[in-house]
Amino acid sequence: MKVQPEVNLIRPLLVVALLGAASVSLASEPRARDLGIPFAFGTPGRLNAITDVPGVEVGQQTLIEGKDVRTGVTVVLPRGKGDAARQSCMGGYFSLNGNGEMTGIHWVEESGLVEGPIAITNTNSVGVVRDAVISYAAKRWPPKSNDWGWTVWSLPIVAETWDGDLNDVYGMHVKPEHLFAAIDGASPGPVAAGGVGGGTGMICYEFKGGIGTASRLLAAKQGGYTVGVLVQANHGLRHQLRVAGIPVGLEIRDGLVRAQDSGSIIIVVATDAPLLPNQAKRLARRAALGLGRTGSVAGNGSGDIFIAFSTANAAAATESRKVVPVEMLPNDQMGPLFEATVGATEEAIINALVAGRTMTGRGGNTVLGMPLERVREILKRHAMLNESAGR
């Protein structure tokens, strides 16, 4: 499968490189706020995306081929793809329900460090993407000096959700070159959402789901820090869905596709606040509360795994030859970060739904995009619609 740099609408093969600030017009895609959906907890950053955290880049490769291939890969680079990518971040993870996979987390737990990219794909492609990260790192980010010749990141962080309803998941269509292209094209700009990258074939609350992102900018008196969230949303049953606290899933019953909660969600939380690993883990836990605000109960069949990292203390997280000073935010000042994480997570999930579009895939299976006007009507009826929002 050849990687194409742009959308090819003529050939049956469509591989779209969604590189953060992609050639695809992101301005034409509505976000939840554009529809008047209100959100609590703070002010979004300039892009309302995880890339509002300075240094963070996102790259995506979307694979659509014939009737059966609907998949891809998304990468979050905590310090970008340049020379700074060698620097670790302090971080932590949290598993709300473990029916899923995120490689490398044993070392995250042990060391308190997030090293290298965080990649998200479909369940059966975790292995090839993991190996591809190692190959990429060996060629592009080798140590500057190491007598043993070891490379970096032999324990990559690669997470997954299952896209087998819309994608030929056993066809192993994600290849190393797709991971390479996603990293090479990563950008600190806008992040495409919905059925793109690793989220191409994903289903959320029985609507078309996928990638979503949002951010929060703390006030100066709270430190002025930024929190950004990216999700790959493939979870939930329709009756559970809440938008702005309103049970819209009870009213919109078209196109139900699941008898039980058998999907998953991966959540990545980034911040520039100076956090120690245990504090980053505390942020990862709070992502569960944002997930709950959209209605999820973390069902038995759902893999709900979250990871958080701080881009502060760059030298301290990487230096191994001497004692180094470390800055940290006192625990008493973490409340605003918790609130920002909960709010950005909720909004990122709803953004994934808003960007989702009806898709037909493997075996003719069709998943409907969330009917945006019906959602607006329901919210308006409950006096929860911000009608002054631009459309």
How many Å apart are CA 213 and CA 269, to the nearest integer? 10
Q: Which of 370, 246, 366, 343 is nearest to 45 (CA)?
A: 343
State the amino acid at position 236 in one-letter form: G
Cα(201)–Cα(197) distance, integer angstroms: 9
How far apart, in whole angstroms, are the C-alpha atoms of residue 22 and residue 243? Answer: 28
CB atoms within 10 A of CB 369: 18
Cα–Cα distance, 301 to 373 (Å, whole number): 31
Dig out the tokens for 11 from the structure. 């050939």
23 tagged catalytic = no
Can you read off the two tokens belonging to residue 363? 């075996």
Residues 308-348 have pLDDT tens digits of: 999 999 988 677 778 889 999 999 999 999 999 999 999 99
> Among 309, 234, 235, which Cα is nearest to 269's?
309
- Token readout for 343 is 């709010």
Query: Within 13 Å of residue 123, how many CA atoms lie on the same side as its CB?
Result: 19
The answer to whether the CB of 151 falls within 8 A of the CB of 135 is no
Res 10: pLDDT? 27
Residue by residue, DSSP assigns 6-35 as S--SSSSEEEEEE-SS-SS-STTS--GGGG
163 is catalytic: no
Q: What is the DSSP string of 245-287?
A: TB-GGGT--TT---SS---EEEEEEEE-S---HHHHHHHHHHH
Residue pointed to by tokens 């598993």? 95
Strands 118-122 and 157-161, sheet pairing? parallel
Q: Identify the active-site residue in 125, 264, 296, 310.
A: 264
Rg (CA), the chain: 20
Backbone angles phi, psi at 279, to 5 degrees: -75, -35
Greater confidence (29 vs 233) lies with: 233
Q: Which of 52, 168, 272, 304 is catalytic?
A: 304
What does the alpha-carbon distance between residue 348 and residue 355 come to, in Å, rounded to a whole number? Answer: 10
- Minimal CA–CA distance to 203: which of 359, 314, 75, 24? 359
**∠90-319-224 over CA atoms, to 5°?**
40
Residue-level pLDDT at 141: 86
In this structure, of 37-46, 57-66, 141-150, 272-281, the range with the lowest mean pLDDT score is 141-150
**For the residues 369-391, what does the mean pLDDT come to?**
92
145 is known as an active-site residue:
no
Percent of the chain with pLDDT over 70: 89
Alpha helix positions (H), the chain: 105-111, 126-140, 176-184, 277-293, 314-318, 335-355, 372-381
List the catalytic residue out of 88, 215, 296, 302: 302
Q: What's the predicted TM-score (pTM) here?
A: 0.93
The secondary structure of residue 376, as a DSSP letter, is H
At residue 15, the pLDDT reads 53
Distance CA 127, CA 343 (A): 33
153 Rama class: left (phi>0) / alpha (psi -120 to 50) / beta: left
Residue that is written with structure tokens 């992609």 in the block = 22
Most distant CA pair in the chain, distance:
68
pLDDT mean over 254-267: 94
- How far, CA to CA in Å, does 281 sit from each of 34, 114, 240, 276, 314? 32, 11, 27, 9, 18
pLDDT of residue 28: 57
Confidence at residue 153, expressed as pLDDT on a 0 to 100 scale: 65
Position 152 confidence tier, pLDDT thresholds 50, 70, 90: low
